[in-house]
A and B are shown apart, each in its own frame.
Chain A
Amino acid sequence: MEDSKIIFSRPTALKPTVTHYCPGCTHGVIHRLVAEVLDELNLREKTLGVAPVGCSVFAYNYINTDFLEAPHGRAPALATGFKRLRPDMIVFTYQGDGDLASIGMGEIVHAANRGEKFTVIFVNNGIYGMTGGQMAPTTLEGQITTTSPKGRNVAEVGMPIRICELLSSLVTPAYLERVAVHTPQHIIRAKRAVRKAFTYQTQNRCFSLVEFLSTCPTNWGLTPGESVRWVEENTLKYYPLGCFKDPDKEVKTDGTV
Chain B
Amino acid sequence: MPRILMKGNEAIAEAALRAGATNYFCYPITPQTEVAEYLAHRMPEVGGVFLQAESEIAVGNILFGAASTGKRVFTSSSSPGISLMQEAISYMAGAHLPCVIVNIMRGGPGLGGILPAQSDYFQATKGGGHGDYRLLVLAPSTIQEAVDLTMQAFYLADKYRNPVMVIGDGMIGQMMEPVEFPEKYEEPPLPPKDWACTGARGREPHIIKSLFLDPLALEKNNLLLYQKYEKMKAEEVRFELYKTKTENKILIVSYGTMARICQTAIDELETESISVGLFRPITLFPYPEKELYAEAARKNIKTVLVIEMSIGQMVEDVERVVRGIKPIKFFGRTGGVVPSPEEAKEQIKELLKKEAGTRKRKTRKG
Nearest Cβ distance between residue B232 and chain A, in whole angstroms? 25
* B61–A71 CB distance below 8 A: yes
In the complex, A141 has a CB within 8 A of chain B: no
* B205–A64 CB distance below 8 A: yes
In the complex, B55 has a CB within 8 A of chain A: yes
In the complex, B25 has a CB within 8 A of chain A: yes
User: Residue of A at shortest CB range from B209?
Assistant: A69
Taken together as a complex, chains A and B put the C-alpha atoms of A9 and B53 apart, in Å, by: 42
* A44–B62 CB distance below 8 A: no
Considering only residues 6-48 of chain A, those with a C-beta below 8 Å from chain B are 44-48
A45 touches which of B55, B68, B199 (Cβ 8 Å): B199
* B61–A85 CB distance below 8 A: no
* B49–A84 CB distance below 8 A: yes
* B201–A77 CB distance below 8 A: no
**Chain A residues closer than 8 Å to B25, beta-carbon distance:** 81
Nearest Cβ distance between residue B36 and chain A, in whole angstroms? 16
Nearest Cβ distance between residue A114 and chain B, in whole angstroms? 8
**Chain B residues closer than 8 Å to A69, beta-carbon distance:** 95, 207-211
Considering only residues 50-79 of chain A, those with a C-beta below 8 Å from chain B are 50-51, 57, 60, 64-71, 74, 77-79
Nearest Cβ distance between residue A70 and chain B, in whole angstroms? 7
* B205–A81 CB distance below 8 A: no
4 closest residue pairs by CB, A with B: A81-B65, A78-B65, A77-B61, A81-B66
In the complex, A89 has a CB within 8 A of chain B: yes
A82 touches which of B197, B200, B209 (Cβ 8 Å): B197
**Chain A residues closer than 8 Å to B53, beta-carbon distance:** 77, 80, 110
Nearest Cβ distance between residue A19 and chain B, in whole angstroms? 15
Nearest Cβ distance between residue A207 and chain B, in whole angstroms? 15
In the complex, A86 has a CB within 8 A of chain B: yes
User: Residue of A at shortest CB range from B61?
Assistant: A77
**Chain A residues closer than 8 Å to B23, beta-carbon distance:** 84-85
Considering only residues 69-83 of chain B, those with a C-beta below 8 Å from chain A are 69, 71, 73
In the complex, A106 has a CB within 8 A of chain B: yes
* A85–B88 CB distance below 8 A: no
**Chain A residues closer than 8 Å to B91, beta-carbon distance:** 70-71
Nearest Cβ distance between residue A42 and chain B, in whole angstroms? 11
Q: Scoring B residues 36 to 78 as 1 if CB is less than 8 Å from chain A, else 0, what string do you get?
A: 0000000000000101011101101111111111010100000
Q: Scoring A residues 84 to 128 as 1 if CB is less than 8 Å from chain B, else 0, what string do you get?
A: 111001000000000000000011001000000000000000000
B65 touches which of A46, A50, A65 (Cβ 8 Å): A50
B205 touches which of A50, A60, A89 (Cβ 8 Å): A60
* B69–A82 CB distance below 8 A: yes
B64 touches which of A45, A47, A67, A77 (Cβ 8 Å): A77
Nearest Cβ distance between residue A86 and chain B, in whole angstroms? 5
* B199–A80 CB distance below 8 A: no
* B58–A66 CB distance below 8 A: no
B residues apposed to A, CB below 8 Å? 23, 25, 49, 51, 53-55, 57-58, 60-69, 71, 73, 87-88, 91, 95, 197-202, 205-211
* A66–B207 CB distance below 8 A: yes
* B61–A67 CB distance below 8 A: no
Nearest Cβ distance between residue B359 and chain A, in whole angstroms? 58
* A48–B197 CB distance below 8 A: yes
* B198–A66 CB distance below 8 A: yes
Taken together as a complex, chains A and B put the C-alpha atoms of A60 and B51 apart, in Å, by: 28
Please judge, given known A-B contacts A45-B201, A69-B210, A85-B69, whether A78 and B49 are in contact too, CB under 8 Å. no
User: Residue of B at shortest CB range from A50?
Assistant: B65
Interface range, A side:
20 to 34
Taken together as a complex, chains A and B put the C-alpha atoms of A89 and B198 apart, in Å, by: 8
Q: 22 A–B contact pairs at CB < 8 A?
A: A57-B211, A66-B205, A66-B206, A68-B68, A68-B208, A69-B208, A70-B61, A70-B64, A71-B87, A71-B88, A71-B91, A77-B62, A80-B58, A81-B61, A81-B64, A81-B65, A84-B49, A84-B62, A85-B69, A85-B73, A110-B53, A110-B58
**Chain B residues closer than 8 Å to A46, beta-carbon distance:** 199, 201
Please judge, given known A-B contacts A60-B205, A84-B49, A85-B49, whether A107 and B61 are in contact too, CB under 8 Å. yes
**Chain B residues closer than 8 Å to A86, beta-carbon distance:** 69, 198
* A106–B57 CB distance below 8 A: yes
**Chain B residues closer than 8 Å to A82, beta-carbon distance:** 65-66, 68-69, 197
Nearest Cβ distance between residue B70 and chain A, in whole angstroms? 9
Given contacts A66-B205, A84-B23, 20 further A-B contacts (CB under 8 A): A45-B201, A47-B199, A48-B197, A60-B209, A64-B200, A66-B199, A67-B208, A69-B209, A69-B211, A70-B61, A71-B64, A71-B88, A74-B57, A74-B64, A74-B88, A79-B65, A80-B62, A82-B65, A85-B23, A89-B199
Taken together as a complex, chains A and B put the C-alpha atoms of A47 and B202 apart, in Å, by: 13
Taken together as a complex, chains A and B put the C-alpha atoms of A79 and B180 apart, in Å, by: 37
A81 touches which of B57, B63, B206 (Cβ 8 Å): B63
* B73–A81 CB distance below 8 A: yes
Nearest Cβ distance between residue A52 and chain B, in whole angstroms? 11
**Chain A residues closer than 8 Å to B57, beta-carbon distance:** 74, 77, 106-107
User: Residue of B at shortest CB range from A79?
Assistant: B65
* A85–B71 CB distance below 8 A: yes
Taken together as a complex, chains A and B put the C-alpha atoms of A84 and B71 apart, in Å, by: 12
Taken together as a complex, chains A and B put the C-alpha atoms of A71 and B63 apart, in Å, by: 13
Taken together as a complex, chains A and B put the C-alpha atoms of A131 and B211 apart, in Å, by: 15
Taken together as a complex, chains A and B put the C-alpha atoms of A81 and B57 apart, in Å, by: 13
Nearest Cβ distance between residue A11 and chain B, in whole angstroms? 14
**Chain A residues closer than 8 Å to B202, beta-carbon distance:** 45
User: Residue of A at shortest CB range from B70?
Assistant: A85
**Chain B residues closer than 8 Å to A85, beta-carbon distance:** 23, 49, 66, 69, 71, 73
